[in-house]
Amino acid sequence: MGTASFSILELFQLGGPIMWPLLLFSIAAVAIAIERAVYLFYHKLNMDEMTAKTSEYISSNNYSGAAEYLESLTERHMGARILLKLIGEKKQGQAFIVHRAERAAEVEAVNCIGSLENGFNFLVALGSLSPLTGFLGTVTGMISAFRSIAEATEVNAQIVANGIYEALITTVFGLVIAIIAMVAHSIFSHIVDRFSSRIEGSCSALIAQIDESQTEINADTAKQETEKSDSENFWKNMTNESAAQENKTAYSEDT
């Protein structure tokens, strides 16, 4: 007994009018998945090398060099935009305020992650709507199949089977679309979550390094000021002693 085979077009026609919205869902899911894949690939999300290089600039107290380095990477490195906002809070001659730097980096991180997650909600919606739409097609198809059975003068297994498998075509297409959308969403979400974790670690490390560097600079400055004050006091005392000695000598001569 031979088995019938159908092309995609024939299956589409057998699925009925519900296949048209499923076709639109499939085009949208594939288009969004491709667009997000290209976008995430274009915007490099690796943080290790960039964080290490920025740390070197901070160690040498070269914040302008760090800013120029990060500025050159902002077009394709999403993390460079966030670190640039953080470095920008360390202005020359001004104290580094940790909570302001954290806030600036956080705001920029929210904007960057939001741009990375554009389209994710559509993938979730398509992953939910596609199987429901497929089930709707199956229900309407089953209604049509049972109506055909009711109108038939002779009922056999072939009539029943044909109506059922034609009705299930929309369910299959809906599930396939949902699988594509949800797999893409899971992969992309994992990539963005990993980037979010890395940028949080990088910002924390650099903030701690800047704060420690500033503490050391403040300590050195205070030490230098103390030494300068001691030196000034020493020479002032020497001057006073010399003046007192001169006054004593002059008094002795007058006497």
Taking residues 16-33, report their average pLDDT: 93
Confidence band for 94, pLDDT divided at 50, 70 and 90: low
41-70 pLDDT, tens digit per residue, is 999 888 888 999 999 988 888 888 888 999
Task: Read off the pLDDT of residues 163-198 as tens digits, 9 standing for 90 and up.
Answer: 677 778 899 999 999 999 999 999 999 999 999 999
Reply yes or no on whether the pLDDT at 78 is more than 80: yes
Q: Which residue has the higher pLDDT, 87 or 7?
A: 87
- The whole-number pLDDT of residue 1 equals 42
Predicted confidence band at 218 (pLDDT cuts at 50, 70, 90)? low
**What gap in Å lies between CA 54 and CA 143, rounded to an integer?**
66
Bigger pLDDT: 9 or 104?
104
What residues does each domain of the chain span?
12-129+195-218
- pLDDT, residue 230, reads 52
**DSSP labels for 114-142?**
HHHTTTHHHHHHHHHHHHHHHHHHHHHHH
* pTM of the shown model: 0.77
